[in-house]
Structure formats: C-alpha cells, structure tokens
Amino acid sequence: MVKAPKNIAVIGATGSIGTQTLDIINNHPELYHASVIAAGSRVDDLIRLALIHRPALAVIADQSKYTTLHEALSPLGIATACGDQALCEAVCRPDVDMVVTATVGYSGLAPTIAAIKADKDIALANKETLVVAGQYITDLLSHSKSKVYPVDSEHSAIYQCLQGENHSDVSRLIITASGGPFRTWSAEQIAKATASDALRHPNWSMGAKITIDSASMMNKAFEIIEAKWLFGFDADKIVAVVHPQSIVHSMVEFNDGAIKAQLGLPDMKLPIAYALGEGQRLAGAEKQLSIADFATLTFERPDPSRFPCLSLAHEALTSGGNSACIINAANEIAVASFLNGRIGFGDIYRVIERTLSTIDHIAAPDYEDYVSTNREARKFASSIC
C-alpha cells in the first residue's frame, strides 16, 4: 500500500530554515506535503510560497497583513488566518503530522507548547524555545506523545552520534562552533564591529538574528542550553570547541575514550531532512563532502574573555529557573538595537548582564512567569539600549 505524504506545518516558512524545509518538501512530494505555512509579517513572500505549495492553510502573525493574504489566497481555496492564537491553533489541526518550528526568538515558544499539548511531532529549529523554558518543555513532553527531532546542525550531529549508544556510556557532548567572523579579532576590534562585519558569517548563510548570535557566540551558549534539555546531560558534560571549517558538526565522547563525530558540508538541508524523516536518511544529497578537500580540520579552545556571552550558558544553567529566559529576552532586544545602530557590538553582553542582574529570579517558573519575565526583561533591556 502506498503511504500518504506526511503533512507538515512549517511555521517561519519565509525564513532561512523555513524556505530550505519547503525546498525539501517540494523535492519529495511522495513523502511530504506542506499543509500549513506561517510567517511573521512578510506577506508577499508567504503568498508566493502558498502559490507553490498549495497548503490547506496560510497564517500570518501580523494582523495588519491579513487582508492582503486573504484576498490573494481565498480565490484559490486556501484558508487564511492571522495572529498569535491562530498560529497555535494551526499547528494543532488534525491534518498536521509534524510541526517544523522555524520562527525566530521567543515567538517559537507558544506554538511549540501548543504542538506538544496536541501530541504533534516536532522538528525543532527554534532553539530559543528550549533556552527560554527548557524545564517546562521537558515536563510537558514527558506527558505527551510528541517527539522532538533536532534541526540545529550541532544537535542533529549529536543525535546521529547517539544512535545505538547507551546514555550512561557518554562522558561529554562536544559542540563545535565556527568561531564566527570575529574568531581572530582582538577584543578592541570586536567591541567596535559594525552590523555588516557581524552579518558576514564565514561558513553559514542564516537569518540575521542567529548570524549576530554566532558572531557574539551567544548562539553557542544557547546551543549548550538546548543540548542539556534535548539530551538530558548535566551542563558540566557539555562543552564547546571552536572548529573554523564547520565540517565536524559536533561530537560525542564516551567513557572508553572513543569520540564519534558527524561530518558534512555546512548545509542545513541535511539536518532538516533528518528531522523530517524522524531519523531516517533521505537519499539524494545535492552535494557530497569531498573529504580530501578538507585535509586540515582544526580545533581550538574558545576564548571567553573576547566572547563573554559564551559563559552565560553555564551561568544560566547553574542558576536555573527563569535566568535563561531573561538572557534570551535581553539578547533579542540587544541584537535588534545593535542592528538598528542604537548600541555597539560590545554593548550586547553588557545589556544582557545588566538585565540579568536586575530582573527578579524565579526558581520554579510556570508558563505565566515565563511570559512576565520575557515582558519585564525586554522592557528593561529596551530602556538601557
């Protein structure tokens, strides 16, 4: 019997991960269909994608763009909706088999929670969800049939290395970092870096926010937190190592001294496809890694004095509670302010640190506490930017 294609809800469809996900879906109509697509505010891009993929439903978060979306798609029989609540309802539809969370920042939290409560499988790109509310999400997952498949390349690599292994045999997760555009820059140069300097990532083409997070190494701090919640290892077993070629996507070290690594070109299509396939490989890579072309793979220790954001991961995990939620909110405001030219690159860390020491610590937050922490931290960070 021929199996029906799996119905995928792609939220953040117009972004870097979203469009790459839709490319994979488009190339494998026998396996996948985009039944829901959703975006923040780029309505023209969403309409263009809807014309190609013919989803059952297209959702735009920005309510002011709704009329444009509706007028373009309703003659084609494509249902439309708008607003944050519609996004949460869309991922719970009975015809959705898997949700790809490719929105950026805190906006990923509510739809991911809705998807877990509706027992939907998740291909998780939005790392901020686990940064903001890792404990809460882990508790929800323990009462849900929903399974989470990592999309982040480092976490996909670790997931691949852990296949067939015992959790108790693992001594460390080693997360690789490219080091970003400022890997070889002095602290003084980094402090004065411009937005165009920071947006010039050496190996990966990604959305603006994660590209700035990569330059500050906040992204690596977030990935350490993400790894803790995805794989259930203590923070002291998760380390970052700089690997400028971005060929080794991460490693797992075992108690017998073995280290397993996953290698590949820096191309998000592989981890996205691996997540869509729930750990099954999808044949037909567009490009293969020619290992002889990368005869030199180098590794170095990260430098927390030039990249202080990196140390925020272990600080957040040690203090627990709403700490990482505060850091995430302050970082979102600081990155947006840096991109708008309101603060310098060196101020990003200072904004986060001041916000973290100002906003009240909550040891065991519930959902409403995360909402209020995010609101208060953003307000304070905005006031000092």
What residue type is 380 in one-letter code? F
Nearest approach, Cβ of residue 223 and Mg ion (Å): 6
How far CA 340 is from CA of 97, 193, 196, 336, 345, in Å, comes to 39, 14, 12, 6, 11
Interacting residue with ligand NDP among 56, 57, 61, 116 (CB under 6 A): 61
Of 16 and 250, the one with the shorter C-beta distance to ligand NDP is 16
* DSSP label at residue 5: P
Residue 268 interacting with ligand NDP (CB under 6 A): yes
Q: Which does 128 bind (CB under 5 to 8 A by kind): ligand NDP, Mg ion, none?
A: ligand NDP
Do 309 and 335 contact (CB within 8 A), yes or no? no
In the region spanning residues 118 to 157, those forming contacts with Mg ion, defined by CB under 5 A, are 152-154
**Judged by CB under 6 A, does residue 55 bind ligand NDP?**
no
The answer to whether 150 contacts ligand NDP (rule: CB under 6 A) is no
d(CA 19, CA 131): 24
Burial of 124 (0-12, 13-18, 19+ CB in 10 A): buried
Query: What mask, x for binding ligand NDP by CB under 6 A, covers residues 315 to 354?
Result: ----------------------------------------
Distance CA 223, CA 127 (A): 7
134 binds, among Mg ion, ligand NDP, none (CB under 5 to 8 A by kind): none
Q: Which is nearer to Mg ion, 153 or 322 (CB)?
A: 153
- The DSSP code for 4 is P
- Stretch of 38-46, 272-280, 342-350, 369-377 lying at the interface with ligand NDP (CB under 6 A): 38-46
57 binds ligand NDP (CB under 6 A): no
**Interaction of residue 213 with Mg ion, rule CB under 5 A:** no
Nearest residue to 203 (alpha-carbon basis) of 261, 260, 245: 245
Binding test (CB under 6 A) with ligand NDP, winner from 8, 9, 18, 182: 18
Q: How far is the CB of 1 from ligand NDP (least distance, A)?
A: 35
Could you say which residues in the range 84-103 bind ligand NDP, by CB under 6 A? 87, 102-103
Torsion angle, alpha carbons of 201, 206, 207, 212, to 10 = -30
243: left (phi over 0), alpha (psi -120 to 50) or beta: beta
Among 42, 54, 117, 350, contact with ligand NDP (rule: CB under 6 A): 42
- Six-digit token pair at 75? 């003659």
Q: What tokens appear for 174 in the block?
A: 């080693």
| Under rule CB under 6 A, residue 69 binds ligand NDP | no
> From CA 138, how far away is CA 134, in angstroms rounded?
6
Selection from 50, 42, 23, 14 nearest residue 272 by Cα? 23
Q: Which residues lie near Mg ion (CB under 5 A)?
A: 152-154
Q: Which residues lie near ligand NDP (CB under 6 A)?
A: 12-18, 38-42, 61, 87, 102-104, 107, 125-128, 152, 204, 206-207, 209-210, 268
